[in-house]
Amino acid sequence: VQLQASGGGLARAGDSLGLSCAAPGRTFSKHTVGWFRQAPGKEREFVGQINWSAGTTWYADSVKGRFTISRDVAKNAVDLQMSSLKPEDTAVYFCAVKLGAANFVLYDYDTAYDYWGQGTQVTVSS
């Protein structure tokens, strides 16, 4: 499964930015799509996830209330909408898919996921 992440770029603190993750020719049905990020010198960390079929979402405490993950059924994509951005949100953001994921289960560790996108840079200035 090839994942394509798009969006990202430069933003100022307080701005909003959106990312999207698509799997051309494939469907996310019955799978969970997660978002992770990795800042320079730090380990990759969980941002949030959505189970495609159930539509359930989970978020890391650091982004809860600011980030929203949603399904775009028409595009067969998963969007990550980021608002009230902070400089500490600066990182390379990755989307990943866990195949056949159970609904209502949190997969907040990267080894749970089967396929990864290439990553896209988000830089937030103060």
Look at residue 3 and give its three-state secondary structure.
coil
Look at residue 104 and give its three-state secondary structure.
coil
Residue 28 contacts by C-beta under 8 Å, 6 or more apart in sequence?
52, 71, 76, 78, 97
Query: Distance between CA atoms of 36 and 109, rounded to whole angstroms?
Result: 9
Lowest-pLDDT choice from 25-29, 33-37, 90-94: 25-29
**Overall average pLDDT of the 25-31 stretch:** 86
pLDDT of residue 102: 80
**Overall average pLDDT of the 3-17 stretch:** 95
